[in-house]
Amino acid sequence: QKEVEQNSGPLSVPEGAIASLNCTYSDRGSQSFFWYRQYSGKSPELIMSIYSNGDKEDGRFTAQLNKASQYVSLLIRDSQPSDSATYLCGSNQFYFGTGTSLTVIP
Amino acid sequence: DAGITQSPRHKVTETGTPVTLRCHQTENHRYMYWYRQDPGHGLRLIHYSYGVKDTDKGEVSDGYSVSRSKTEDFLLTLESATSSQTSVYFCAISESGLAGGSETQYFGPGTRLLVL
């Protein structure tokens, strides 16, 4: 079992819809989590970091952390075609999920 | 973009040859990391450094060595490259490590390595 697991997808949503990406982790020692976006052939770039239980919002992005259930999620509201990318979930224990491929259909 | 460069950006080499990849940062961050990214496996940590001459192994360190003689440079060496080391290699940096509140990692542009 990987330390950080993600559904690999692919996930397709229509433009304007909400995209929901999920991640679970196994190490209860993990304290902080990160969502990265990676376009094809490019390096990962940070979208959100979250350290505390609950929701954290930044523009169209909301990260959710539930330490009791050991899951992290990322919601993208009003999805745009430019959001089409692979999204990586990572923990402060240097583990990353395999990524979820998102396609936003115009 | 965080000031991280990697060299070379692309390399083709033959099995059994040594290969060194370089990561250079201008952010003066204490932590530096080497990851490899492969389909189906995602990003996996090879080695990391928490200061000059201070390094530790990651999840997939076999066949790799690292060195850090200056804050700004972190070298990854494949002593004798094998085809299984064909991958995309990313360097990353962060201000702090496991739990310092500034452990967000910033990634370099990557190096594509093909071992024939």
Backbone angles phi, psi at A75, to 5 degrees: -110, 135
pLDDT of residue B102: 54
CB A97 within 8 Å of CB A71: no
The amino acid occupying position B83 is S
Backbone angles phi, psi at A83, to 5 degrees: -80, -10
Identify the weakest region by mean pLDDT among A1-5, A91-95, B88-92, B94-98: B94-98
Q: Which residue of A has its CA nearest to B105?
A: A46
Q: Which residue from A92, A96, A97 is facing B99, i.e. has the nearest CB?
A: A92
Q: For residue range A29-67, what is the model confidence (pLDDT) as tens digits?
A: 788 899 999 999 999 999 999 988 999 999 999 999 999
* A64 CB neighbour count, 10 Å cutoff: 18
Q: Which residue from B58, B90, B110 is facing A94, i.e. has the nearest CB?
A: B58
pLDDT at A92 over 80: no
The amino acid occupying position B63 is G
Kindly calculate the radius of gyration of chain B based on its CA atoms and give it in whole angstroms.
Answer: 13
pLDDT of residue A7: 80
pLDDT of residue B103: 75
Helix (H, G, I), strand (E, B) or coil at B73: strand
- CB contacts, 8 Å: A32 with chain B: 99, 103
Sorted by sequence, the CB contacts under 8 Å of residue B103 that are 6+ apart come out as: A32, A92, B31, B94, B95, B96, B97
Q: Which residue from B41, B48, B106 is facing A94, i.e. has the nearest CB?
A: B48
Sorted by sequence, the CB contacts under 8 Å of residue A71 that are 6+ apart come out as: A22, A23, A24, A25, A65
Contact A98 B40 (CB under 8 A): yes
pLDDT of residue B2: 66
pLDDT of residue B98: 58
- From chain A residues 14-53, the ones with a CB under 8 A of any chain B CB are 31-32, 34, 36, 42-46, 49, 51
Q: Which residue of B has its CA nearest to A35?
A: B104
Q: How far apart are CA B70 and CA B72, in angstroms?
A: 5
CA dist list (Å): B32 to A19, A81, A85, B4, B16 = 32, 33, 25, 10, 27
The beta strands (E) that lie in chain B are given as 4-7, 10-13, 19-25, 31-38, 42-51, 54-57, 64-70, 73-78, 87-94, 106-107, 111-115
pLDDT of residue B48: 94
> pLDDT tens digits, chain B, 116 residues: what are they?
569 999 999 999 999 999 999 999 999 999 999 999 998 888 999 999 999 999 999 999 999 999 999 999 999 999 999 999 999 999 999 887 655 455 788 999 999 999 99
| Beta-bridge partners for B112 | B10, B88
